[in-house]
Amino acid sequence: MNIIVVGCGRVGAELAYRLYKKGHSVTVIDQTASAFANLPPDFSGRTVEGEATNQNVLERAGIETVDGLAVVTKNDPMNAVIAHLARSQYGLNNIVARNYDPTYRYVLEAFDLHMVSSSSWGAQRLEEMLAHAELYTVFSAGNGEVEIYEIRIPENWDEHTLLEMLPDENCYPVSLTRAGTATLPKMDTVLKSNDIVLVSATFDGIEAVRKNLQAGPEV
């Protein structure tokens, strides 16, 4: 793929390098030439100095023929403007924007953009790791609104069912692994201690699961 990355800070440089190492053709735009020093020495993609809100700069970077655009500066309104410009003027739909400051997330949402809110996502991951060690996030969709969690079934839930453990909504079973073999479980599946269950849940859904695990099954 031919991809443009706007912003060559730590995130932009890391993203550009990862894409380059995967064999993609990468062009990096930044308004400050010294920012390109963040790129590893063996990065052989293109760099374009200039303000990406300027269409001449975007066209020098090849916006008219690219397959994807990542806008990852620290300026959320600028990210929204650049992404909107690429979509409205050049018909590009494969666009992902970074949300740097959570208080400006609404700006990106107003443009209906795919985005990654690194601060919100990171804070949620840290909170889970510190306060909820019994559950592990194995996949996160969007900005963490829906995630897949791994749960190791404790001994006190042996011989009880998923129906007893999971809440009525906002949480759905994905798989159950027992003795190294994975199956698609049903709500009436009887659990065994040390089973590994993957569930897809919202934040409210997984909180309900945590409360159920802590309280234990009803006798």
- Determine the 3-state secondary structure of 79 from DSSP: helix
Percentage, residues of the chain above pLDDT 70:
95
Superfamily assignment of 132-215 in CATH? Regulator of K+ conductance, C-terminal domain (3.30.70.1450)
Apex CA 217: angle with CA 216 and CA 219, to 5°? 120
pLDDT of residue 128: 64
Sorted by where each begins, the domain ranges of the chain are 2-118, 132-215
Q: In this predicted model, what pLDDT tens digit does every residue of 113-143 receive, in sequence order?
A: 888 887 777 777 677 666 655 677 888 887 7
DSSP 8-state class, residue 77 = H
Provide the whole-model pTM: 0.65
User: How far are the Cα atoms of 41, 132, 133, 190 from residue 214, in angstroms, in the given order?
Assistant: 50, 11, 12, 19
Quote the pLDDT of residue 132: 57
pLDDT at 172: 95
φ/ψ of 197, rounded to 5, equals -115, 130
Tell me the C-alpha distance between 4 and 107, whole Å. 22
Q: What is the pLDDT of residue 191?
A: 95
Nearest CA to 206 out of 154, 163, 160, 167 is that of 167
What pLDDT, on a 0 to 100 scale, did the predictor assign at position 180? 86
The CATH number that domain 2-118 falls under is 3.40.50.720
One fold for 2-118 and 132-215:
no
Q: In angstroms, rounded to a whole number, what is the distance separating the alpha carbons of residues 212 and 63? A: 51
Q: CA 12, CA 34: separation in Å to the nearest integer?
A: 14
Predicted confidence pLDDT, tens digits, the chain (219 residues): 999 999 999 999 999 999 999 999 999 999 999 999 999 999 999 999 999 999 999 999 999 999 999 999 999 999 999 999 999 999 999 999 998 888 888 888 888 888 888 777 777 767 766 665 567 788 888 777 899 999 989 899 999 999 999 998 999 999 999 988 999 999 999 999 989 999 999 989 999 998 898 888 876
Q: Compute the distance between CA of residue 145 and CA of residue 72 in angstroms, rounded to an integer.
A: 21
